[in-house]
Amino acid sequence: MDKELTSSIEKVRSAVKEELTHYLAEQRDYLTSIASELIPVCDALEDYLLEGGKRLRPLFAYAGFMAAGATPTRTDIRAMASLELLQACALIHDDLMDGSDTRRGKPAIHRHFESLHRQGSMSGVPEQFGAAAAVLLGDLALVWSDHMLHNAGLSHESLMAALRIHDEMRIELMAGQYLDVREAGEKEFSVERSLRIARYKSGKYTIERPLHLGAVIASPAQSEHGQLLNVLSAYGLPLGEAFQLRDDLLGIFGDPTVTGKPAGDDLREGKRTVLMAMTLEKASAPARRELQRDLGNPTLTVQRIEELRTIITETGAVAEVEKLIEGLATESKIAAQSSAIAADAQPFLLALADSAIRRSH
């Protein structure tokens, strides 16, 4: 990627982090004025939000703002940075629901509070305390995301337009999350259903809606069905699906030192991904039986994971998913070059597309 673009992406990331740092410091002052027992809550959320994260949603919001032909001010970046708090809620609750132990190489929030319970020799059951803390820290992050957006300092018009998109985005997120959780209860894998989940969880929530959010903050008078938002959807939805497909590949083939998740995590969890649905469709009967026996077994060894990877690759599903990613990326990049998008924004959108699909974590 172009050095200049890499540096502008890094600058947005730093600005987002700076706004979050400032917001969280204010909230720490307030919460600890209520009770010192809230210090671990502040510590955990600061650690979660300031140490890592790709800042994808604020970056796409930034790109959407640029697509409308304007450059975000600090105020606008503050509003967009609030998306990181919403994402913190989604991840904290997700890890709890999946029973995942780690996130970005550190203990998941429920595990962290479980440890605090044990270290403090507190009364009751550590796991129950950890789960309750994860529910509440997620809720608090969700409420904070709203509070940060409301108080960013946007004009009335921009805020109203932002809230409309933001509300739709959050409803879509929760619907997508429920469908994802429910999918794990289905007897059979389904490419079609998994693609629909990818569309809601990644296409809309991660990419399309952040783009729209940035665009309407920049230009609140535009119609929700106007040309700019439509073109941003044409860029964002296929890119979001491609992003999720890359995630599927990383969930099975990713390097744990880079992803911060255990090797073959999706196999141990039996995650209903598009990749696995395609694999099962294409597999020979004996290969399918082998996979079905082992998927969702949390005690799979590293060696067994390696064997399952080979089976999956040999079905041709990996190559097909890679081809699908390429096709979606091309579709997305063509939309990025539409004349409805400000010329300055186009290289930025293309660079973000590359970083979303050519990533190792």
41 binds a copy of itself (CB under 8 A): yes
Q: Which of 51, 120, 284, 306 binds a copy of itself (CB under 8 A)?
A: 120
Rg of the chain on CA atoms, in Å: 21
DSSP 184: T
Residue 136 touching a copy of itself (CB under 8 A): yes
Which of 5, 70, 135, 195 binds a copy of itself (CB under 8 A)? It is 135
Q: How many CA atoms lie within 13 A of 341 on its CB side?
A: 30
* Cβ distance to a copy of itself smaller for residue 104 or 196: 196
Measured from the Cβ of residue 46, the count of other Cβ atoms closer than 10 Å reads 16
Binding status of residue 170 toward a copy of itself by CB under 8 A:
yes
Residues 335 and 229 sit within 8 Å (Cβ to Cβ): no
Task: Please select the residue that binds a copy of itself; options are 23, 60, 65, 129, rule is CB under 8 A.
Answer: 129
Q: How far is the CB of 27 from a copy of itself (least distance, A)?
A: 8
Helix H, strand E, coil C: the string for 287-349 is: HHHHHHHHCCCCCCCHHHHHHHHHHHHHCCHHHHHHHHHHHHHHHHHHHHCCCCCCCCHHHHH
Q: Is 195 in the site for a copy of itself (CB under 8 A)?
A: no
User: 3-class DSSP state for residue 13?
Assistant: helix
Cα 49 to Cα 233: distance, rounded to the nearest angstrom = 28
**Looking at 140, 218, 283, 341, which residue binds a copy of itself (CB under 8 A)?**
140
CB of 308 to a copy of itself, least distance (A): 19
Neighbours of 223 (CB within 10 A): 9
* Residue span binding a copy of itself (CB under 8 A) among the ranges 11-19, 161-169, 245-253, 311-319: 161-169
Nearer Cβ to a copy of itself (149/215): 149
Tokens of 252: 């099975």
Which DSSP state fits 275? H
User: Does 191 sit near a copy of itself (CB under 8 A)?
Assistant: no
Per the CB < 8 A criterion, the answer to whether 356 and 56 are in contact is yes
163 lies in the site for a copy of itself, by CB under 8 A? yes
* Residue 71 CB contacts under 8 Å (≥ 6 apart), including other chains: 65
Q: Among residue numbers 283 through 342, which ones bind a copy of itself (CB under 8 A)?
A: 296
Q: Should residue 48 be labelled a site residue for a copy of itself when binding is judged by CB under 8 A?
A: no
The answer to whether residue 185 forms part of the interface with a copy of itself (CB under 8 A) is: yes
Evaluated on CA atoms 17, 23, 29, 31, the torsion sign reads negative
Contact 19, 73 (CB under 8 A): no
Site for a copy of itself in 209-268 (CB under 8 A): none
Judged by beta carbon, residue 57 or residue 93, the one nearer a copy of itself is 93
Residue 78 in contact with a copy of itself, rule: CB under 8 A: no
Cα torsion through 104, 108, 111, 113, rounded to 10: 110
Is residue 4 a contact partner of residue 353, using CB atoms and an 8 Å limit?
Answer: no
Closer by beta carbon to a copy of itself, 5 or else 31: 31
138 binds a copy of itself (CB under 8 A): yes
CB of 141 to a copy of itself, least distance (A): 9
Please give the residues from 17 up to 36 whose contact with a copy of itself meets the rule CB under 8 A. 27, 30-31, 34-35
Question: Considering only 185-193, 250-258, 278-286, 331-339, which stretch makes contact with a copy of itself by CB under 8 A?
Answer: 185-193
Residue in this structure with the two tokens 């660079």, named with its chain if needed: 351
| Residues making contact with a copy of itself (CB under 8 A) | 27, 30-31, 34-35, 37-38, 41, 89, 93, 96-97, 99, 117, 120, 122-124, 128-129, 131-133, 135-140, 142-144, 146-147, 150-151, 156, 160, 163-164, 167, 170-172, 174-175, 177-179, 181-182, 184-187, 196, 200, 296
